[in-house]
Chain A
Amino acid sequence: MSTPPVAVVGVGQTHHKSRRLDVSFGGLVREAVFRALDDAHMTLADIDAVVLGKAPDLFEGVMKPELYLSDALGAVGKPMFRVHTAGSVGGTTAIVAASHVQAGKHKTVLAVAFEKQSEGNAQFALGSGKGASLGAGGAFAPFIRAYIQRSGAPEHIGWKVAVKDRLNALKNPYAHLKIEDISIEKVKASPMMWEPTRFLESCPSSDGACAVVITDEAGANAAAADGRPPAWILGASSRSEPPSFPGRDPVRPAAALQCAADVYAAAGITDPRRQIDTAELYVPFSWLEPIWLEAFGLAEVGEGWKMVDDGTTELGGALPVNASGGVLSSNPIGASGLIRFAEAANQVRGAAGEHQVDGAKVAIGMAYGANNQYFSTWAVGSSLHPFD
């Protein structure tokens, strides 16, 4: 990469729940921020700038919440930046924060993302209160049906993803959904929401926040010398494509392919399936896992579902996907992308706890938004040159 190396040295997230009535917006973000700062052995005084991401302000009814949250985030007297790129926003927040350090403007930057869905009604907001909303599940169902039709995947693939991610969530202390008795039968028996997506193949609606501390090469080396491995950012990209036009393929979006190509080129990844040890992909509905495995080059076209079927993407498989339980287990929308990026970082730092993927050296975190239009991805590594 032409830019100076930067790395993640601190990660924090909240306990995600349907309703965090115990905390204000400020309290929610601070819970994640102080976990990240503790993890980085830092205080707010070490932070030079704050980048805040969240999904539409209409979700909670607080416009430009970076204004109100400047105090809670310790940003007074500092730059406070607000990103919003639909569902991908959490990922973009991390990328923009990294850009602050890569540009040489700041040494240490805090990326924070949150959603407190219980304060409002996301489905109402998605339709802007102007009428019936399909909701995200309704918007994605046609893409899922197209994938199934093209790939010939059997219907149990979606159920398997749902079970896998919920089992992984049982190993993640921060996960929202803890369904101890999850099973294929239980998923199959859950109500049909948006054909072919059933209730238990869908993400929950969560309150939660995530924070990541990104610092420069010197800061990362200092953390490493102190026995706290950094996650080096090997490559990052955000790409977007327009809502609708002839030739657009929302099952295999060009923006996703380019986003992956950008990241892999920067990171020196030529064989993603073999060189990437684990992936945190934004999978709010079960079938998005095989769709993104293919779009991000982790599987050949039409083959992604087979990696689900043969257990490759399970924790303990050759390429564990969403070892954290993923968006299917916790979905504070604006934060969900940053959680993917943070979980990927923790994997290569060896800091993922019970859901650690053994020996993970390279991981990707990916988020997407709108109708499969906004893509943000980063690759992180346990060293700057993991393939040497």
Chain B
Amino acid sequence: MSTPSTDIAVIGWAQTPMVRRTDKSETQLLMDVITDAIEPLGLNRTDIDFTCLGSCDYITGQAFSFVSNLDAIGAWPPKRDSHVEMDGAWALYEAWLRLQEGDIEIAVVTGSGRSSTGDPALIYPMEMDPYFLAPLGADPLTFAALQARAVIASGIADERSMAEVAVRSRGKGTVDSLLAEDFVRQPLRRHDLPPITDGAAAMVLATGDRARQLVERPAYITGFDHRTECHNPSFRALDDSPSTRIAAAAAGLGDAPVEVAELQAAFTHEELLLRNVLGLGDDVSVNPSGGALRDNPIMATGLCRVGFAADHIFGGGGRALAHATSGPCLQQNLVCILEERP
């Protein structure tokens, strides 16, 4: 682990309305949300030195879908720019690396996706090993249910504690009423599943003095790491998440307690597993935003976690953790630690 040579902070972020379906294009969503992120800071698009967008062609249903999103960042004069076929949280990671080179001060990163335009059960099998897993056509629910069974078998969760996560995240229903529903994929019921959400998020980063000039309380990124695992879920211990553990250690989670943890847990059992792996006690407020169970704008869900963790710092908090994930059964995990001072 290394110490960043430059203080880098989240100084603002915005998200679009999170809806089941929008008629706006991804470019329109980004146009709005970038403006919403930069205007309160007194910035305009020409102040942005570097942009990195996170999106996925398969979600959009079009090759090179991110190219038209250049319109939203207003890449004129041409921007130092990049794009990751990953959640915006990884776009944030690239910008964080780039800013450490020290020659630029302000970066904007985004995550965007309109899941409503496709059928998740059709799309997601295509992210599996094309030879042995994709032909099975197993969808995310199936893989999540396999992991939920492993997590329950290990005693980390049970159907009741999973329902409690759902009630707390969405602020509606009662545990008993939810548990009376049928299974979608045993042991998962509808309340254990994420919604389908269209949406986008944009985040503004700044370095050193520039961050302090622009906002009173920058949310400094003091630790940032991500790790991947073996792809095939059947070769993994699904009641564990070693990549999360490594990323958290590398990001310095153990150095001091966090008050808030925003976890990208699209399924209820994932939250319980991640809490366990990260060693988060009852004193840590987990997903006060409602998490991915409330809004799940794929490709922006992870970046939103960082945004809500930053909100905790903006609002007077001291230390927060944000987590993002990609792949079947939490294959790839990212941990970002935000603090009130570097």
Q: Which residues of A contact B (CB under 8 A)?
A: 2-3, 24-25, 56-64, 66-71, 75-86, 92, 96, 99-100, 102-105, 119, 125-128, 130, 237-243, 245, 253-255, 258-259, 262, 370, 373-374
A62 to B331, CA, bound (A): 16
B3: nearest residue on chain A (CB-CB)?
Answer: A104
| Interchain residue pairs A-B with the least CB separation, the first 3 | A255-B78, A56-B63, A240-B81
A245 to B226, CA, bound (A): 38
What residues on B are CB-neighbors of A245 within 8 Å? Answer: 76
A interface footprint on B226-250 (CB within 8 Å = 1, 0 otherwise): 1111111000000000110010000
Closest chain-B Cβ to A243's Cβ sits at a distance in Å of: 6
What residues on A are CB-neighbors of B332 within 8 Å? Answer: 66-67, 70, 80
Q: How many residues of B contact A (CB 8 A)?
A: 65
Contact indicator B56/A77 (Cβ below 8 Å): no
B103: nearest residue on chain A (CB-CB)?
Answer: A2
What residues on B are CB-neighbors of A63 within 8 Å? Answer: 56, 58, 123-124, 126-127
A interface footprint on B77-107 (CB within 8 Å = 1, 0 otherwise): 1111111111000100110111011110000
Contact indicator A83/B85 (Cβ below 8 Å): yes
B66 proximal to A (CB < 8 A): yes
What residues on B are CB-neighbors of A59 within 8 Å? Answer: 63
6 further interface pairs, Cβ-Cβ under 8 Å (given A79-B226, A85-B81, A258-B78)? A3-B101, A64-B56, A68-B128, A81-B90, A99-B97, A262-B80
Given the interface contacts A64-B327, A86-B64, does A240 sit within 8 Å of B75 by beta carbon?
yes
Contact indicator A237/B94 (Cβ below 8 Å): no
43-64 of chain B: CB within 8 A of chain A: 56-58, 61-64
Contact indicator A76/B78 (Cβ below 8 Å): no
Q: Which of B4, B56, B130, B232 meets A62, CB within 8 Å?
A: B130
Contact indicator B93/A77 (Cβ below 8 Å): no
B5: nearest residue on chain A (CB-CB)?
Answer: A104
B128: nearest residue on chain A (CB-CB)?
Answer: A68
Contact indicator B231/A67 (Cβ below 8 Å): yes
Q: Which of A60, A64, A253, A254 meets B85, CB within 8 Å?
A: A64
What residues on B are CB-neighbors of A103 within 8 Å? Answer: 4-5, 96-98, 100-101
Given the interface contacts A58-B63, A77-B246, A240-B78, does A105 sit within 8 Å of B70 by beta carbon?
no
A69 to B331, CA, bound (A): 12
Contact indicator B328/A84 (Cβ below 8 Å): no
A126 to B62, CA, bound (A): 8
A80 to B67, CA, bound (A): 23
Contact indicator B127/A81 (Cβ below 8 Å): no
A interface footprint on B118-160 (CB within 8 Å = 1, 0 otherwise): 0000011011111101100000000000000000000000000
What would be 18 A-B contacts, judged by CB atoms less than 8 Å apart?
A2-B101, A58-B57, A60-B130, A64-B326, A66-B228, A67-B327, A70-B331, A71-B231, A77-B246, A81-B94, A82-B85, A83-B94, A96-B94, A99-B98, A100-B97, A239-B80, A253-B78, A262-B80
Contact indicator B80/A237 (Cβ below 8 Å): yes
Q: Which of B71, B90, B103 meets A243, CB within 8 Å?
A: B71
Closest chain-B Cβ to A261's Cβ sits at a distance in Å of: 11
A241 to B131, CA, bound (A): 38
Contact indicator A243/B68 (Cβ below 8 Å): yes
What residues on A are CB-neighbors of B101 within 8 Å? Answer: 2-3, 99, 102-103
A64: nearest residue on chain B (CB-CB)?
Answer: B127
What residues on B are CB-neighbors of A241 within 8 Å? Answer: 70, 75-79
Given the interface contacts A58-B57, A128-B61, A238-B82, does A67 sit within 8 Å of B70 by beta carbon?
no
A368 to B21, CA, bound (A): 34
